[in-house]
Amino acid sequence: MSEYQYYEFLAIDRPLTKEQMAELRTLSTRATITSTRLQNEYHWGDFKGNPSKLMEKYFDAFVYFANWGTREFMLRLPKRLLGPETTSLYCACDGADARFSGDFTILEFHSEDEESSWEDEDDGWMESLVPLRSELASGDLRCLYLGWLMCAQDGFLDDDTVEPPVPPGLAKPSASLKAFADFLRVDENLIAEAAVRSPVLRTTMPSRFALESWIQDLPASEKDALLLRLMEEGVPTLQAELLQRFRKSQAPSEGPAFGPGGRTVAELISAAEERAERHRREEERRKAEEQARLERERAAARTKYLDSLVGREDRLWHDVEALIQAKKAREYDQAVELLKDIRDLAARAGSSEAFDERLSQLRQRHSNKPSFMERLARAKLG
């Protein structure tokens, strides 16, 4: 298999300037570079840039995958939306890491699987994964928890490591979260077991009255600062930031937003293995039931078919002789099928001995036809 690598970067909060685009062009003459995107694929050679450094300076999202099983995904968010006090709970190994550059938090996720199958259509990952950034900005930490699960699954954590708080909504993931779990190759049984302690996710927007009351209680100086940020910087994530702050302020009255966590890595892995075994047994039972149903249907159809042949046995013997005389493979096969029908009719009527005698005579008459005789032997006729 030839080498294949795919790189894609997105600038979301602010478009790239002409100067920045020119700087990026020095890294690749073939890449697609626009004010919001850098994309390139390689069948030989490699990208000259350092994705981690480019994320610090230019971009808000990055996807990389290679046909030898490596996958990487990065997100950059303002530190005020996702700080070290949160990331330290979930980013527990090199495969799910958080680092900080200036005012930004940069999340890095990495998955390796040399035995994974390769599919050329994988280049839709960015579109599927980038909505996670908005989810994180609004306080949805499910993708961070999945990163922690990957660390546990891949053996990067000690068995007695205790899981962090379980975010709400694991049992009903968004489309982007499902894609993220697939991207990191997190076992679905492990996710399902973790979701047992995941509260229901509150997805409805707060009422206008609740928002008005909260806004009225904000200090005037803070409101002025927010408006100034909006006018000067644009701040595409400002709505998510304010919603995150609002929901945190309501948490005491609405009850705990997160599940208790507290299970060890060993307990989660063991529970996931037991769940997988239950599913395996259930699938075997389902397949056995389906096979039994199909066999009943085939038996019923066979009975109905044989019923339609009752009384026509002599005609069937005549048809067998005619087909044999054609001396062609297709007709030989048809003759053998008719002989099976006659045999089964004889068994039902209790006249198998008569059938065997007549079949023996037929075999003697056509013993000089080796191809036909081989077919009789394979069909266990005589």
Q: How many domains is the chain partitioned into structurally? A: 2
Tokens of 30: 């073939």
Residue 211 has pLDDT above 80, yes or no: no
Confidence tier at 254 by pLDDT (50, 70, 90):
very low
Q: Are both 126 and 76 inside the same structural domain?
A: yes
Q: Is residue 239 part of a domain?
A: no
pLDDT of residue 334: 96
Q: Are both 271 and 354 inside the same structural domain?
A: no
pLDDT of residue 57: 95
Confidence tier at 255 by pLDDT (50, 70, 90):
very low
Q: Is residue 289 part of a domain?
A: no
pLDDT of residue 114: 73
Location of structure tokens 């950034």: 133
Q: Is residue 274 part of a domain?
A: yes
pLDDT of residue 316: 96
Q: Is residue 154 part of a domain?
A: yes
Dist CA 147 CA 111 (whole Å): 10
Q: Are both 314 and 193 inside the same structural domain?
A: no
pLDDT of residue 38: 96
Q: Are both 79 and 173 inside the same structural domain?
A: yes
Confidence tier at 119 by pLDDT (50, 70, 90):
low
**What residues contact 27, with CB distance under 8 A and at least 6 apart?**
47, 48, 49
pLDDT of residue 200: 82
Q: Is residue 220 part of a domain?
A: no
Q: What is the mean pLDDT of residues 10-37?
A: 94
pLDDT of residue 292: 96
Q: Are both 261 and 356 inside the same structural domain?
A: no
pLDDT of residue 226: 66
Give residue 367's domain range.
310-382
**Residue of 145 and 261 predicted with greater confidence:** 145
Q: What is the mean pLDDT of residues 142-171?
A: 95
- Strands 5-10 and 61-66 come out as antiparallel
Residue 320 has pLDDT above 60, yes or no: yes
Q: Are both 273 and 316 inside the same structural domain?
A: no
pLDDT per residue over 54-85, tens digit each? 999 999 999 999 999 999 999 999 998 899 99
**Residue of 43 and 238 predicted with greater confidence:** 43
Confidence tier at 360 by pLDDT (50, 70, 90):
very high
Q: What is the mean pLDDT of residues 175-180?
A: 96
Q: Are both 193 and 342 inside the same structural domain?
A: no
Q: Are both 185 and 316 inside the same structural domain?
A: no
Helix (H, G, I), strand (E, B) or coil at 91: coil
Confidence tier at 329 by pLDDT (50, 70, 90):
very high
Q: Is residue 291 part of a domain?
A: no
Helix (H, G, I), strand (E, B) or coil at 22: helix
Q: Are both 163 and 82 inside the same structural domain?
A: yes
Percent of the chain surpassing pLDDT 90 = 73
Q: Is residue 218 part of a domain?
A: no
Location of structure tokens 């075999």: 363
Q: What is the mean pLDDT of residues 197-213?
A: 75
pLDDT of residue 178: 96
Residue 121 has pLDDT above 50, yes or no: no
pLDDT of residue 297: 96
pLDDT of residue 244: 66
**What residues contact 24, with CB distance under 8 A and at least 6 apart?**
16, 31, 33, 38, 49, 54, 58
By residue count, the chain amounts to 382
Shortest CA distance to 60 belongs to which of 22, 107, 23, 102?
A: 107
Dist CA 41 CA 364 (whole Å): 71
Confidence tier at 236 by pLDDT (50, 70, 90):
low
Q: Which residues pair with 259 in a beta bridge?
A: 166
Query: pTM for the whole thing?
Result: 0.74
Average pLDDT score over the chain:
89
Q: Is residue 249 part of a domain?
A: no
Q: Are both 264 and 374 inside the same structural domain?
A: no
pLDDT per residue over 258-281, tens digit each? 767 789 999 999 999 999 999 999
Residue 108 has pLDDT above 70, yes or no: yes
- Strands 61-66 and 104-112 come out as unpaired
Dist CA 292 CA 111 (whole Å): 42
Name the helix (H) or strand (E) containing 34: none
Q: What is the mean pLDDT of residues 323-352?
A: 94
Location of structure tokens 């994964």: 129
Q: Are both 83 and 190 inside the same structural domain?
A: yes
Q: Are both 314 and 273 inside the same structural domain?
A: no
Helix axis angle for 142-153 and 175-184, nearest 10°, is: 20
